[in-house]
Amino acid sequence: MHLGLAACGAASVFSFAPWYWAPMMWLSLAALFMAIARATSPRAAAVRGLSWGLGYFLANVHWVFISMHDYGGMPAWMAAGCTLLFALYLALFPALAGWLGQRWPARGAWRPTLVIPLAFVATEYLRGWLFTGFPWAVSGTSQLPYTPLAGYAPLIGAWGVGLLLALCIGLLTGSPREPRRWAAVAAIWLLGLGVQQVAWTTPLGKPVSVSLAQGNIPQDMKWDQAHFVDNLRTYLWLTRAAKGEIVVLPETAIPAFLSDIPDWYLDELRAAVGQRHLVSGVPIMGKGLDEYYNSVMAITEPKQAVYSKHHLVPFGEFVPVPALFGWMYNFLNMPLSGFSRGAPKQAPFTLGSTRLAANICYEDVFGREIIRALPEATMLVNISNLAWFDGSWAAAQHAQMSQARALETGRYMLRATNTGMTAIIDEKGRLVASLAPMKKALLEGRARNFTGMTPYARLGDWVFLLALVVGFALSLAYARRV
C-alpha cells in the first residue's frame, strides 16, 4: 500500500463540487501516471493504481456509509466494512489501468505520454459500463463547466473531456522539458476556449417561469406513516406558493403509490396550479406481482404517459445477484428497494411550449442515456432524493453531473430535490440559481427551451471510443517497428 499515492487520490475530491478546484485533478492524475510509469513491473504498477484508487474512492464516495448506517440501520462496523469493500472494488479499475499501462507494448516516451493516459480513461469507461456501471466522480466531470476543456463537452462528452485531460497530463509528465509538449497543451486549451463560444443549439420561444420545490423531509420521516399527512401538507403548501408556469416536485414527493393517494389530494394539487403545469415524482404499481416503478407524472396532464426510471441503482433499487448480496437487506431498512425498470426511451412531457424530458436521481450520471430524449426534448429535468446522504458532498457532486449533461445536450436542466441540490442549470452547464441545502423552500426562476443537436447528442460516446482504439493501435504499431 502506497500511502502517499492514496493521499494523492483522496485530494482529487476537491476538484469536484462543491469546491470545483479543477487543478487538483491534474495534480492527482499526474502523481498516478508518474507512479505507473516508474513501476518496475505490471504487478507493481497495479498495486500503485490500487493504492491511488482506494484513496480516490474513499474520499469521493464515502457517503455511502451514511445511507447504510444512519438511515439503513446497518451496524457501524458493517457499514464501514461495506464502504471499504465498495471502494476496493472501484479501485480495481485504476489498478487495471496501472497493469495495462505497463503491460501494453510501447517504446520510449509513448508509454507515459499516450499508453498510460489511454489505459486510465479506458478503465474509467469500463467502470461506467460494467455491471450497469458506476460513472460517479469520473475525471472529465471535474473539469466541467468552468475550465477551457468544458468547451469540448458538447463535442465529445465528459468521457472525451477526460481523455483530453489525461493526454494533457501525459504530455506534461512524459517529457516535461520539451517546449512542444507545453505548446500542444496550450493549443488544446485555446481550442477549448474557442469552441466554448459556439452555440450548438438554438433558443426556442420565450423564457419559461419555473418553480422547483425542496421539501426538506428527513429520510427517516419520509416513509414513516406517522408523518404521512405532514409530508402531504408540505408539498401541497409549496405547490400553492409556487408561481411558475411549470412546477416540479422531487423524487417520490408523494410517499405512496399513485393508486393509494386520495383523489381529493390530487384535486387539491391541480387546483393549486390552475391552468399551469405540475410534475411530480410518485411510485406507481405495475400490472404484475411485485411490479412497481419509480416514476414521474404530469399531475395536471394525467392522460400523458408517465416516465418510469430505467437505470436503477444497484443495491439501492435492485439487488444484483440476490444469491450473493441478498443478505445485505437483512440489515437495511430500505423502503421500495425492488423497483422494476422503465423503457430505455420514453417520450418527454408536453407542457405548453415545453417538451420536458425527465430523469430520476442517478440516471443523469449517464450521458449516453440522457441523449436518448433528444431531439424531441427542449428541456431536461432531474428529480432526486439525496436525503440518504445528508451531511455529505454527494448532492453537490450530483449537481455537477447535471451540469455536465446540460453541456453535452445544449439544454437547460432543472433539478428538483428533497434536501438539495435544487437548481436551474443553463445550456452551458452554469448554475443560474440554486437553493441552500437542508432548507424547505421554492426556487423560482426562468428557464429556456432549446432545439437542435450537439455533436455529442448525435454521436454519443463513439468518437471517444474510436479515439481510444486509434490511440492504442498507433502505440502498438510504433512499438513493433524495427
Catalytic residue among 317, 361, 369, 408: 361
Q: Residue 400's closest CA among 357, 363, 434, 431?
A: 431
Q: Assign 330 to helix, strand or coil.
A: helix
Paired with 350 in beta bridges are: 355
Number of Cβ atoms within 10 Å of the Cβ of 5: 26
Q: Would you call 268 a catalytic residue per the annotation?
A: no
| Cα distance between the two ends of the chain | 38
**C-alpha to C-alpha distances, 405 to 4, 179, 457, nearest whole angstrom:** 33, 35, 10
SS3 287: coil
Q: Where are the alpha helices (DSSP H) in 251-302?
A: 263-273
Residues 6+ apart with CB under 8 A from 130: none
Dig out the grid coordinates for 197 from the structure: 463560444
How far apart CA 467 and CA 474 sit, in angstroms, is 10
Type and span of the H or E element at 469: helix 462-479
The question of whether 309 is a catalytic residue gets the answer yes
Of 361, 285, 381, 316, nearest in space to 68 by CA: 316
Locate 183 and state its grid cell: 505548446
124, 245, 251, 363: which is the annotated catalytic residue? 251
Question: Of 245, 309, 363, 408, which residue is the catalytic one?
Answer: 309
In the beta sheet, which residues pair with residue 208?
A: 447
Q: Using the structure block, give the residue that is written with the C-alpha cell 420545490.
A: 213
| Pairing mode of beta strands 202-214, 277-285 | unpaired
Catalytic residue status for 345: no
What cell does 223 get?
416513509
Amino acid identity of residue 377, one-letter, is: A
In terms of DSSP bridges, do strands 277-285 and 354-360 run parallel, antiparallel, or are they unpaired?
unpaired
Positions annotated as catalytic residues are 251, 309, 361
